Amino acid sequence: MKRKTLATAALLAGLTGVGALPGLALADGGGPEYRHDDRGGHGQHHEDGDDGALFVQTNKAEGNTVKVYDRDDDGHLSPKGEFETGGLGGFTVGAPGDALASQGSLIYHDGLLFAVNAGSNTVTVFRVDGTKLDKLQVVWSHGLLPVSVAVRGNLVYVLNAGGEGSVQGFRLHKDRLSPIEGAHRSLGLHNGNPPAFMTAPAQVEIDPEGEFVLVSTKAANVMFSYEIGRHGELSRHPVISDAGNTPFGFTFDTEDTLLVTESGSNELSRFELEKDGGLDQIGPSVPNGQQAPCWIQRVGDFFFVANAGSSTISSYKVDRDGKLVLVKAVAADTGGGSIDMTASDGFLYVQNAAAGNVQGYEVGKDGSLKLVTEVKGLPKFENGIGMEGIAAS
Q: Residues 284-318: pLDDT tens digits? A: 999 999 999 999 999 999 999 999 999 999 999 99
Specify the DSSP class assigned to residue 231: T
The CATH number assigned to the domain holding 187 equals 2.130.10.10
Specify the DSSP class assigned to residue 260: E
Total count of domains within the chain: 1
pLDDT(171) > 50:
yes
pLDDT(244) > 70:
yes
pTM: 0.89
Give me the amino acid identity at 327.
V
**In angstroms, rounded to a whole number, what is the distance separating the alpha carbons of residues 115 and 122?**
9
Per-residue pLDDT averaged across 50-56, rounded? 87
Q: Where are the beta strands (DSSP E) in 243-389?
A: 247-252, 257-262, 267-273, 279-281, 286-287, 293-299, 302-307, 312-318, 324-333, 338-344, 347-352, 357-363, 369-375
Element (H, E) at 264: none
Range of the domain at 24: 6-392
Whether the Cβ atoms of residue 187 and residue 181 lie closer than 8 Å to each other = no
Instruction: Report residue 5's pLDDT band, with 50, 70 and 90 as the boundaries.
Output: very low
* The pLDDT of residue 25: 33
* The pLDDT of residue 50: 58
What is the full DSSP assignment across 178-212? EEEEEEEEE------SSPBTTTS--EEEE-TTS-E
Element (H, E) at 43: none
pLDDT over 70, % of the chain = 87
* The pLDDT of residue 19: 36
> Does 154 fall in a domain?
yes
* The pLDDT of residue 241: 98
Nearest to 166 by CA among 144, 195, 192, 199: 144
In what side-by-side order are the strands of the sheet with 166-173?
146-152, 155-160, 166-173, 176-186
Which residues have C-beta within 8 Å of that of residue 236, sequence separation ≥ 6?
25, 27, 185
* The pLDDT of residue 320: 94
pLDDT(2) > 60:
no
**In angstroms, rounded to a whole number, what is the distance separating the alpha carbons of residues 384 and 100?**
10
> Does 1 fall in a domain?
no
The Cβ-side half-sphere exposure at 350, using a 13 Å CA radius, reads 36
Q: Residues 141-157: pLDDT tens digits? A: 999 999 999 999 999 99
Least confident of 2-6, 16-20, 323-327, 330-334: 16-20
Which residues have C-beta within 8 Å of that of residue 52, sequence separation ≥ 6?
46, 70, 71, 72, 344, 345, 392, 393
Per-residue pLDDT averaged across 202-212, rounded? 98
pLDDT(175) > 90:
yes
Whether the Cβ atoms of residue 377 and residue 79 lie closer than 8 Å to each other = no
Q: Residues 362-385: pLDDT tens digits? A: 999 999 999 999 999 999 999 999
Per-residue pLDDT averaged across 46-72, rounded? 87
pLDDT(343) > 60:
yes
* The pLDDT of residue 14: 40
* The pLDDT of residue 66: 98
Instruction: Report residue 38's pLDDT band, with 50, 70 and 90 as the boundaries.
Output: very low
pLDDT(30) > 70:
no
